Structure 1
Amino acid sequence: MNHPDALRSLLELVAQGQLSPDGALDKLKYFDFEPVGDFARVDHHRTLRTGFPEVIWGPGKTPDQIAGIMAAMRQRHLVVMATRIEPEVYSQVQAQIPDVQYYRSARICAAIHPDFAGVQYPGTIGILSAGTADLAVAEEAAVTAELCGFQVQRLWDVGVAGIHRLLNNRHVIDAADVLIVVAGMEGALPSVVAGLADCPVVAVPTSVGYGASFQGLAALLTMLNSCAAGIGVMNIDNGFGAAILAGQILRTAVKLNARAD
């Protein structure tokens, strides 16, 4: 723990009855970070505040910086994840962290402790992609959700150009507690799915499409203008953010059920 004097003072206040344990926990949520070299300050207590640990954004960082941050984080976290990692960057990270795993389709690398239990939360996140070209973003969402402890069911290549493919897989929609729907081109799939689903739909536009799709802007606007209710829209290509939002929805349901009990 950094700042031992501050921590000792905090514990003394609890021992003296001047601060409640809950009050101390609230202060600790904003207490701990760890410098890594001269380029990063790892936020170890993000899990206490938000439910999920800090995740490393790969682009713009060198392989040495990514490896250094992962090495620091894995001392305290069962899963340390880095996103948007290209194969050549992964190879250089693996040279420093040999047991790091790589999810090529998702462009995610992760250091996973043997004690990681896998599925930790109730509920299912269903993830649908409109086309095969959307898989990188859809897999980013799927792998992120799984590494965060959620059960995932995938359904790929069910876009509206062949809508019978979606309708023949209604069981995936019906079984999901939250749906992530990934689509490029005109981005119509989330509207169709939301008209069939009784759960929240997280829509993710992708930058897939011809020139008039404006690198995902057309799909983004379609999703924002959907006439179907119950859709939340992420930024273009943000599969990671969609998974975290879906996870927060499920975690909120768990908290509400616990209060009811």
Structure 2
Amino acid sequence: MDTIDIKQLLLNVKENKVDIEDAIRELEELPFKDLGFAKIDNHREIRVGYPEVIYCEGKTVEQVKEIVEFMASKNNNILGTRASEDMYTAVKEICKEAEYNKLGRTITVNKKKQAFTDSYIVIVSAGTSDLPVVEEAYETAKILGNRVEKITDVGVAGIHRLFSKLDIIRGAKVVIVIAGMEGALASVIGGLVNKPVIAVPTSVGYGANFGGMSALLSMLNSCASGVSVVNIDNGFGAAYNASIINKL
């Protein structure tokens, strides 16, 4: 439930379309719903503009299914990240609208229509091996109501590939740059655009990459002033922040 839903409910009460007792039932679970193993934050969309997102990794299939079932009953758009195919199969039984991005490991359920932004977010990745993080970021940005463009496999080993897409990159309101290995792509793009760059280091690389640490440290030490950095493989976090910027 968001502010628009609450205003409509109060208007319906005022116009005698909904009685007070029914309105109370609608509102009584507003702060949160205690499922025993989880407390669903029903108030989050009112506070911050976006509903709660389900981080599925570490949860059981039944737990994910029960959380989705409750959120769907509130007509929420739903995003589950780091989800398995078994989780998706279980969710699909109760939400026919559910879709699964196998590469990005996301479950999305669109329960209510939303307008997409005129401005757009562009997601740029260095290599094909970074695509799982790209897809997580893409699905996140999209379900939050953003237009999204993807430019993939344009890393610094073949920098001419990047230059051919500069018009699209420069036209975005915010740029997400996803790269593993040494993570140099974020600095290159940061030096070419006048938009905020959110860098995502990935765990892609040989041993000295240290599971993404080399890319993380390179991005944190970028000499390009407009580069901010999220955690390793955190496509969700990058897209969430990009969405906030895109809607300012």
Range class of TM-score, shorter chain: 0.7 to 0.9
Aligned to 1:165: 161
Whether the 8 Å contact between 1:180 and 1:202 is mirrored in structure 2 is yes
**Is 2:205 aligned against 1:206?**
no
**Residues 74, 95 of structure 1: alpha-carbon distance in 2 compared, 3 angstrom cutoff:** closer
Whether the 8 Å contact between 2:104 and 2:136 is mirrored in structure 1 is yes
Report 1:1-261 matches (<5 A): 32-36=31-35, 38-113=36-111, 115-117=112-114, 119=116, 121-251=117-247, 253=248
Q: What is the CA deviation profile of residues 61-88 of structure 1, one whole-angstrom value per residue up to 9, with x for unaligned ones?
A: 1111101111111222441111011223
Counterpart of 1:145 in 2: which secondary structure?
A: helix
Q: What is the CA deviation profile of residues 6-63 of structure 1, one whole-angstrom value per residue up to 9, with x for unaligned ones?
A: xxxxx9xxxxxxxxxxxxxxxx9xx611112x11110011111111110000111111
Distance, in Å, in 2 between the alignment partners of 1:77 and 1:200 is: 33
Distance, in Å, in 2 between the alignment partners of 1:218 and 1:187 is: 7
State the TM-score, normalizing by the size of structure 1: 0.81
Q: What is the CA deviation profile of residues 137-171 of structure 1, one whole-angstrom value per residue up to 9, with x for unaligned ones?
A: 01110110000000001100000000000011111
Unpaired stretches in structure 1, ≥5 consecutive residues = 2-10, 12-27, 254-261
Whether the 8 Å contact between 2:181 and 2:215 is mirrored in structure 1 is yes
Distance, in Å, in 2 between the alignment partners of 1:201 and 1:77 is: 33
TM-fit CA distance, 1:175: 1.0
Counterpart of 2:205 in 1: which secondary structure?
A: coil
Q: What is the CA RMSD across the aligned residues, in angstroms?
A: 1.9
Q: What is the CA deviation profile of residues 177-198 of structure 1, one whole-angstrom value per residue up to 9, with x for unaligned ones?
A: 1000000000000000010111
Bigger CA drift: 41-50 or 129-138?
A: 41-50
Distance, in Å, in 2 between the alignment partners of 1:53 and 1:247 is: 13
Distance, in Å, in 2 between the alignment partners of 1:51 and 1:137 is: 24
Instruction: Name the % identity.
Output: 47
Distance, in Å, in 1 between the alignment partners of 2:193 and 2:157 is: 19
Structure 2 residue identity aligned to 1:61: K
Aligned to 1:8: none
Structure 2 residue identity aligned to 1:161: A
Distance, in Å, in 1 between the alignment partners of 2:187 and 2:90 is: 42
Aligned to 1:19: none
Counterpart of 1:220 in 2: which secondary structure?
A: helix
Aligned to 1:17: none
Structure 2 residue identity aligned to 1:144: T
Whether the 8 Å contact between 2:183 and 2:201 is mirrored in structure 1 is yes
Whether the 8 Å contact between 2:65 and 2:87 is mirrored in structure 1 is no
Q: How many residues align?
A: 223
TM-fit CA distance, 1:222: 0.1
